[in-house]
Amino acid sequence: MHIDQQFLQRAVELAGENVAAGGRPFGAILVKDGQVVAEAVNEIHLSQDPTDHAELLTIRRASQQLGARLEGCVIYASGQPCPMCLAAMHLCGVSGAVYGAANEVGERFGLSTAAVYQQLALPLDKQTLNVRHLPQPAMAEIYGDWQARHAAC
């Protein structure tokens, strides 16, 4: 069996276990150098935190072991990562993602994030979320201070 299929099957297994425990059908694992570093399931039903997606929890757990940068790591997810999870993967440097169920499959069950992807593809002023830019000149100085402090390290 191909290694991607093995890891993806574990994510799917986690999703099934989570449904049996009263949660949503999402599981994820993070792998580096062929080794599972972390795994998680969607925990929204436990925490009431809408960001407790399996992929984000996996990233959080892996980061505790490997640090904030996760280059060379692959996430295997039972379902297509939502835009929030995909953005987190980009921000922490995950090298790849493999998922089992596409949004088209989840849509029949009310589990698609395709509408969010569509919104994010629009310019900010065209999205349904009211996002406004109020420039704060002090932020340039704060950014400069941050850069100076980190350049010295």
DSSP string, 37-70: EEEEE--HHHH--TT--HHHHHHHHHHHHH-S--
Rounded distance between C-alpha atoms, residue 109 and residue 97, angstroms: 23
Q: Is 55 a catalytic residue?
A: yes
Phi and psi torsions of 5, nearest 5°: -65, -40
Output the CA–CA distances (angstroms, integers) from residue 12 to 82, 123, 138, in the order listed. Answer: 16, 35, 47
Catalytic residue selected from 17, 43, 55, 71: 55
Beta bridge partners of 27: 41
Rounded distance between C-alpha atoms, residue 153 and residue 149, angstroms: 7
Please give the positions annotated as active site: 55
